[in-house]
Structure 1
């Protein structure tokens, strides 16, 4: 068993379209415009699978946009969509239990999506796709705050959870981060908001250079932990506070998504957007680097990577 890295060849990118019976309702048209642009970009490089209950049409694209009919509670399919593993080079979709990020939000429809669309068998282990990141070579990066949170798998110890992860994904090693968070993140510190592999030997991660900012100490401690792992490290620039309806939102450049031939990086109308794009061009010299304004997405406390799931070719 092997858990692929996101830069490996993909079959499609899975998304779930925002609908009226979700928290997107107050700015539904705005977020749907984001999704249309996102889908258009991805469909230039690879197929898109779009979960929706509506009859949608899109302009002709280079690749297919396939409509999949299913009910959802929300759009964050990274956390309830199927996770691909390879068994002797044959892909298999794993359907972990999704419980609304530790029983915070309704998940009755989301938790059934994979079984309905991909005929998967449910695994009795709570795990969200945004909580893990793979280097494709048997190493998994995650956070203890999320995976050890009391409402995920309360009857399992850290050692037992690590053993399960190694079995599911054929891992050699699990790298646990004990520090790091983003204000406004409902997920208990998903790794895809904090630090990500960009190749088997390199991790990019968010930083905070403002000593007065609430994140400064925690992210400095996270940086020291990352340094202890022995990988090449590339810091991403700090994003100034983004406020909506009086709350600070979890803006992160680490929430990028890799697709065939391109990397789509979230931007936030921030002075450091251009610097971040330059860093990604160095990290992925053979791929197109595309900045996409994710300001509307973070109003519901997620960003680009959270909104999609990679399905791998095989």
Structure 2
């Protein structure tokens, strides 16, 4: 059902990622010009991510007709695989942004109506620096997901990717000027115009603008989910480097200066937790040599990769985060994440470099669908094998998109 007006007009808003999910949506990589060696290493990485998330909540992976059987054979049996065509597998950016309307609140549960936003997608910049020249199938992914779930839909002509925004669910959004104000997105809109649209469609009251994103993140023009994210209202994690000669240092410092001197929509001064960077990491001749050039943005050897631990996913009771094979730094990042999310289990993805080589990481390839119940008296941290009661509850969430129409 197509909804008229903006989400905020109907009292919808985007909930925080740590709210209870009905499921996670993912795509399936197959482009040989963006994923090396016929995408086989990347597919193994996607399987690792999907398997990790499926310990905490249902997962749906969407694969093309040519790849459906391959995906089904590789993915765990508890992961649903749907046939869906796409230009690539970045469902954070091509999938819908889900919003919710709180309909009924009691002492034990909060029942929500779910809707979705279909933004306009132009391959991270269209023909002016975008990642590929044909994005027609990706432009339909949000609609296909919402149609499949029978979720009411809002549409917007503004170009926006899900990785360019983070919200706290209490009225605050963080984004970057480098991305949202880039001329290859919405050249006809001013900063004030874009901020007003974010307020109308995300249901936020305040937008915090960081000047720039991660150094080397040319694919997305500085998505915020690579440099900063909310841990909880009033607290953020910030990608950090100590080396003042590193080109990222200036970017992280300017972000820190903005965050530490601003307040959120509730008037709280933000607490900033540094999450130290891996690397720096660079692409290798072997990795680039495994690509088949065609339509995607060319990859070159010895290019600095946009590696960050901030690009993690918050699942029901879990944190699924990238690891890069640097044991001391990976371990340090895991400890920071565990301290930031003491009630969640941290799972590090050992094959995350393969996702990084394609232009993003764990958060970029996942999209959460909120549950119709945003709070319950008890909620399992992990779906244990053989626990039929817990599994039945999570299975039921797959079939509940909208309550109390």
Task: Quote the residue 1:4 is aligned against.
Answer: 15
Shift of residue 215, structure 1, vs aligned partner = 1.4
Q: Does 1:37 align with 2:48?
A: yes
Shift of residue 261, structure 1, vs aligned partner = 1.0
C-alpha change, 1:165 and 1:59, in structure 2 (3 Å) is: closer
For 1:101, what is the secondary structure of its paired residue? coil
Equivalent residues in 2 for 1:141-156, closer than 5 Å: 141-156=174-189
**Structure 2 residue corresponding to 1:235, chosen from 274, 286, 297:** 274
Q: Does 1:57 align with 2:73?
A: yes
Shift of residue 260, structure 1, vs aligned partner = 0.5
What's the CA shift string for 1:11-68, capped at 9, x where partnerless? 111110111455214351111111112111111211111110222235765xx42222
For residues 173 and 311 of structure 2, the distance between their equivalents in structure 1, rounded to whole angstroms, comes to 17
Number of matched residues? Answer: 312
For 1:102, what is the secondary structure of its paired residue? coil
Are the counterparts in 1 of residues 176 and 223 from structure 2 also a CA contact under 8 Å?
Answer: yes
Q: Does 1:94 align with 2:112?
A: no
Task: Quote the residue 1:201 is aligned against.
Answer: 234
- Name which of structure 1's ranges 145-154 and 16-25 shifts more when overlaid on structure 2: 16-25
* Structure whose residues are more often strand by fraction: 1
What's the CA shift string for 1:81-131, capped at 9, x where partnerless? 011111233110111111011111232111111223322564211110000
Are the counterparts in 2 of residues 22 and 74 from structure 1 also a CA contact under 8 Å?
Answer: no
C-alpha change, 1:25 and 1:168, in structure 2 (3 Å) is: same
Moved over 6 A (4+): none
- Name which of structure 1's ranges 201-210 and 120-129 shifts more when overlaid on structure 2: 120-129
What's the CA shift string for 1:263-311, capped at 9, x where partnerless? 0111111231111111111111111011112111111121110011111
For residues 121 and 234 of structure 1, the distance between their equivalents in structure 2, rounded to whole angstroms, comes to 35
Are the counterparts in 2 of residues 184 and 247 from structure 1 also a CA contact under 8 Å?
Answer: no
For residues 139 and 151 of structure 1, the distance between their equivalents in structure 2, rounded to whole angstroms, comes to 25
TM-score w.r.t. length of structure 1 = 0.95
Q: Does 1:255 align with 2:311?
A: yes
For residues 239 and 51 of structure 2, the distance between their equivalents in structure 1, rounded to whole angstroms, comes to 28
For 1:265, what is the secondary structure of its paired residue? strand
Q: Does 1:307 align with 2:365?
A: yes
Task: Quote the residue 1:47 is aligned against.
Answer: 58
Task: Quote the residue 1:265 is aligned against.
Answer: 321
Are the counterparts in 2 of residues 70 and 117 from structure 1 also a CA contact under 8 Å?
Answer: no
Task: Quote the residue 1:109 is aligned against.
Answer: 137
What's the CA shift string for 1:178-227, capped at 9, x where partnerless? 13432144111100000000101100011111122121222211111111
C-alpha change, 1:237 and 1:12, in structure 2 (3 Å) is: same
For residues 331 and 220 of structure 2, the distance between their equivalents in structure 1, rounded to whole angstroms, comes to 28
Are the counterparts in 1 of residues 277 and 307 from structure 2 also a CA contact under 8 Å?
Answer: no
For 2:361, what is the secondary structure of its paired residue? coil
Task: Quote the residue 1:225 is aligned against.
Answer: 258
For residues 224 and 202 of structure 2, the distance between their equivalents in structure 1, rounded to whole angstroms, comes to 17
**Structure 2 residue corresponding to 1:78, chosen from 86, 92, 95:** 92
